[in-house]
């Protein structure tokens, strides 16, 4: 499951997509493939949805608490998305990197950009596209309980997120979940094997004599 025989640096795997493209499902599948991959639990000021648990999907915090975390330098990146604040806590990321453990981020393009700038060599960025706008609309229409205005708003936000596709290293069209999962696993496997990430190589090769 792990790639390579020698010690290596951890990866920061950034997964972005418009909402409704299957990002959460793929994130869960990647972590099922390799349970050592840690999920970066973001802080957010949005209200929990039914089924969401504080500390699992998100750390649900007040605006004041969020601002205090930012002021204290505790956020690796942060951004406003759809009127709510979201941010990735820094400490768990630094811990993971130093332990050679990979971390998965479900964040938007603004967060992806900030982390890519700050920690370029450790980042692998992947953007997920829906197979069609009709497929996305079907997902965002949900159970038919939302007004046309609400759905139109979701579609506008999705198009805005999609407009950033070219800022990512990898782009996957999520037409078939199993295929997309296999591609994602291939990307992570190959990225782990990059020479400069295999920090144990020099010692290993020396040992070869
Ligand atoms: N920049 C940034 N974006 C985040 C963070 N956490 C979540 N997001 C993004 O915020 C958006 C809204 O997420 P969410 O409230 O879970 O609603 P969703 O659209 O149903 O996934 C998604 O695009 C997430 O990827 C974070 O820590 N930083
Ligand atoms: Mg989400």
What is the CATH classification number for the domain harbouring 169? 3.40.50.300
Structural domain includes residue 75? yes
Is residue 119 included in any domain, yes or no? Answer: yes
Return d(Cα 26, Cα 172) in angstroms, integer: 11
Q: How many domains does the chain have?
A: 1
Nearest CA to ligand 1 atom 4: 107
In a domain? residue 205: no
* pLDDT per residue as tens digits for the range 37-84: 999 999 999 999 999 999 999 999 999 999 999 999 999 999 999 899
Task: Print the domain residue range for 154.
Answer: 12-200
| Average pLDDT rounded to a whole number, residues 125-153 | 89
- The response to whether residue 122 sits with its C-beta less than 6 Å from ligand 1 reads no
Residue 72 resides in a domain: yes
Is 2 part of a structural domain of the chain? no
Between the CA of 23 and the centroid of ligand 2 the distance, in Å, is 7
Confidence of residue 143 (pLDDT cuts 50, 70, 90): low
Q: Tell me if 195 is assigned to some domain.
A: yes
- Decide if 135 is inside a domain: yes
- Return the best residue to mutate from 69, 111, 128, 154 for the ligand 1 pocket (most ligand atoms within 8 A of CB): 111
pLDDT in tens, 9-47: 899 999 999 988 999 999 999 999 999 999 999 999 999
93 Cβ below 6 A of ligand 1: no
pTM for this entry:
0.94
User: Does the pLDDT of residue 1 top 50, yes or no?
Assistant: no
CA–CA separation, 114 and 131 (whole Å): 27
| Residue of minimum CA distance from atom 25 in ligand 1 | 107
In this structure, is residue 48 part of a structural domain? yes
């Amino acid at each position: 499951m792990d790639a390579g025989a020698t010690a290596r640096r951890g990866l920061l795997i950034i997964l972005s997509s418009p909402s409704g493209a299957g990002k959460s499902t793929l994130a869960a599948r990647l972590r099922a493939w390799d349970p050592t991959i840690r999920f970066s639990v973001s802080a957010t000021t949005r209200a929990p949805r039914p089924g969401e648990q504080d500390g699992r999907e998100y750390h649900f915090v007040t605006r004041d608490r969020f601002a205090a975390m930012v002021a204290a330098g505790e956020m690796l990146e942060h951004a406003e998305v759809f009127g709510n604040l979201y941010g990735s806590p820094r400490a768990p990321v630094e811990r993971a990197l130093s332990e050679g453990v990979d971390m998965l981020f479900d964040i938007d393009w603004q967060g992806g950009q900030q982390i890519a700038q700050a920690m370029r060599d450790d980042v692998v960025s992947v953007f997920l596209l829906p197979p069609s706008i009709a497929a996305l609309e079907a997902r965002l229409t949900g159970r038919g309980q939302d007004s046309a205005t609400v759905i139109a708003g979701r579609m506008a936000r999705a198009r805005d997120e999609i407009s950033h596709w070219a800022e990512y290293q990898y782009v996957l069209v999520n037409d078939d979940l199993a295929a997309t999962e296999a591609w994602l696993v291939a990307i992570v496997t190959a990225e782990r094997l990059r020479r400069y990430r295999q920090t144990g190589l020099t010692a290993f090769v020396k040992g070869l004599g």
